[in-house]
Structure 1
Amino acid sequence: MNHTSLSADDHDAITDAAAQWCLRLQAGDCTAAEHQAFGQWLAANPLHAQEYQAMLEIWHTADHLSRPAVASNVITHSERRRSTWRHYALATAIALAALPAGAWIGWEQGWLPNSYQHLESTNTITHAVLEDGSEVELNLASELRYSNYKGERRVTLIKGEAFFKVRHDSQHPFIVHAANGQTRVTGTQFNVWKYEDRVKVTLVEGSVLVDSNSQDTEGGYRLVPGMQASYQAGDYEPHLSQTYAQDTSLSWRNGKLILDNLSLEQALPQINRYLEKPLLLADESIGNIRISGVYDTAQINRLVGNLPKVLPVYLTRNKQGNMVLNRISPPPSRG
């Protein structure tokens, strides 16, 4: 089908269908028959895939919509039908986008962003400039989303690690969400590392407010250069610490993972973020074994294979395909 021959009504119908498919496929009770029907709809016209991808972007952006905005009376019928706020957010976003003045209204009210970026790195360090002029450097296997709202700039670090050089704007704060917490700045340079539900923020320049609870929009613990904040999901408050001259938190920007006399328990989260399947410990005692060295972040699999050469351990593989570190028992002492 020639896309240029489609009428405005045809385009609107495809957009509406893409929105409905997006909502349905995210539901927990979506059936196999519906998945098959979606595949047939997707294959019927290349424009279907394009519109569906656009709806997925709106779906991800809906994560950033504030609950008060969603709880307004913009779409009362959808609110009655949907059981979760995320469905309300997507429905609101789709409805506003469909209105001629919807984008402007959404921007003015602070409900919708006027720009959105999805950044992802695989096996190389990636540098990008965000729409506001801020710069971000992504470590290997990292992913984030950026949305520019009227009142603030929002980033969600989905996985991995990112170094930010934020363009100063005191009226337009820059907020990075990671796990259940957030880091709030107006202009500075800092690093955010995330593995599973653990987060570490390292400040290089300026100041930031770090909070382990992202629902606290005004509070937080202030860092000055040379400080770090660590937390994991569920923590009441972040743990603050002072960095030291030999701190290696930013060595990844040079493609290096530096382990400076760390226990395996401490080192594994840093190692595992570069692995497709995490390396596991057979028991807690192995976590006390210490490791040092400088490693290429693109060759972490080689590091895992070499561990039995430098530590009293051997490798096995479990049923899930994870490599497991086992302690080599010392020989019995002679009486």
Structure 2
Amino acid sequence: MDSASADPDAAAAAAAWYARLHADDATPADRAAFGRWLSAEDAHDRAWHELVSATRVLDDARNDPALLAMIAATRGDVRAAPARRRWPMAAAAAVLLSIGGTTALVLDKHAAPAATEVAAVRYVTPVGRSRDITLSDGTLMTLDADSAVRVSAPGATRRVAIDRGQAFFQVAHDAAHPFVVSAAGNSVTALGTQFAVRTASDRVVVNLVEGSVRVDTPVLGRTTTLIRGNTLTIGASGLHLTRAGADIATGWRKGELTFDATPLGEVVAELNRYSVQRIELTDPRLAKRVFSGVLRTGGGGTALADALSAYGIARVDHADRTRLVLAPLS
């Protein structure tokens, strides 16, 4: 096993989690604990995806007589089976069994007539920390700070659901298996492209950096095809397409946030995803004032306060390690 492969402890833990998540009595608390384990270390992420890849191989051959005979033998129910393809399947099973004793439960699940679908993997990032993740199909996903997504097990369609925040995708080309990202009831379908999907309280934003994507908005009964540079905003008032600017909108990947006549309430909400020092506005009217400029994701709150003070818009009313309170100057 090379250095990029999962270490034995992580592999055994991944097998245990797989069995736990497929148990009939698995609970939401189990899934939440699994998400915390998965995101705690890169080794956990590698171990899980190696396990999922291995189970896909066995899933494709779950009706092989030799493998079924091996599964029966692990249960003490030894039955005769044809020798056809015995050695290749024995080798595959031995590799998976070596991950850990609990993996035998996974094998038994796949041998059942009604196999249970592999649980989605949930990735979560805390405030102030983004994460680069390589999905099992080779797609590169950058998960922004304070974000959460669910990645379904590989199948005919590759699926990712964004629950919170935003993510950028460099999609591995595979024309036979469309890559679909869903957010707030909308879906973005791509084949070999680079794009970002962002969710907010009142809208979903799709930024296309390279290639093309199809955006389906069932509530509005619309399908929109984006080309390089396009930004599509899906909101309560409908769709808004901007022909250029996707590169700037995805500047968060290099630590830059660009605002163009954006209400301060939205600017503050965005900056608060990147720092434990939360910005607060003491006056609702201040939240409606607009701001234009480029801020860093690190230290952006201080830069915003300095800019607002220079513009004669707001002043710092209180500042400590966890709070930065801004009040109107007048």
SS of the aligned residue for 1:248 comes to: helix
Task: From 134, 141, 145, give the equivalent of 1:136.
Answer: 141
Aligned pairs for 1:18-37 within 5 A: 19-20=24-25, 22=27
TM-score (normalised: structure 2): 0.58
Distance in 2, Cα, partners of 1:136 & 1:119: 11
Please point out which of 115, 120, 123 is paired with 2:124: 120
The percent identity for this pair of structures is 27
Q: CA deviation at 1:98?
A: 9.3
The partner residue of 2:205 within 197, 200, 221 is 200
Q: After TM superposition, list the pairs within 5 Å mapping 1:28-177 onto structure 2.
A: 53=33, 100-101=109-110, 105-106=114-115, 112-113=117-118, 116-122=120-126, 123-177=128-182
Q: Which of 223, 236, 253 is 1:220 aligned to?
A: 223
**Counterpart AA for 1:172:** H
Read off the aligned partner of 1:283 and give its amino acid letter: P
* TM superposition shift of 1:200: 1.0
The two structures, once aligned, show a CA RMSD in angstroms of 4.1
TM-score after normalising by structure 1: 0.57
- Determine if contact 2:220/2:238 at 8 Å carries over to the other structure: no
Q: Is the 8 A contact 1:211 1:237 kept in 2?
A: no
Equivalent-residue separation in structure 2 for 1:52 and 1:262 (angstroms):
35
1: CA distance, partners of 2:161 / 2:328: 39
Within a 5 Å distance, the mapping from 1:176-325 to structure 2 comes to 176-213=181-218, 220-232=223-235, 235=236, 237-244=238-245, 248-260=248-260, 262-265=262-265, 267-275=267-275, 279-280=280-281, 282-284=283-285, 286-292=287-293, 294-303=294-303, 305-306=305-306, 308-311=308-311, 312-315=313-316, 325=326
CA contact (8 A) 2:158 2:180 kept: yes
| 1:187 Cα offset (Å) | 2.1
Amino acid at match of 2:162: L
Task: Tell which deviates more after alignment, 248-257 or 117-126.
Answer: 117-126
Amino acid at match of 2:201: E
Q: Distance in 2 between matches of 1:289 and 1:146?
A: 36
- For the structure 1 residues 144 and 202, does the alpha-carbon distance in structure 2 shift closer, same or farther, using more than 3 Å as the test? same
Instruction: Report the CA distance between 1:199 and its aligned residue.
Output: 1.8
Deviation track 1:252-294 (CA, whole Å, cap 9, x = no partner) reads 11112233454425534433433555644623465234342x3
- The answer to whether the 8 Å contact 2:166/2:198 transfers is yes
Unaligned runs of 5+ in 2: 1-15, 38-104
Q: Specify every segment of 5 or more residues in structure 1 that has no aligned partner in the other structure, as ranges.
A: 1-10, 26-48, 58-95, 330-335
Counterparts of 2:164 and 2:21, CA distance in 1: 31
Contact 1:182/1:214 (8 A) holds in 2: no
Q: Deviations over 1:64-114 (max 9, x none)?
A: xxxxxxxxxxxxxxxxxxxxxxxxxxxxxxxx97963367854xxxx724x
CA pair 199-313 structure 1, distance change in 2 beyond 3 A: same
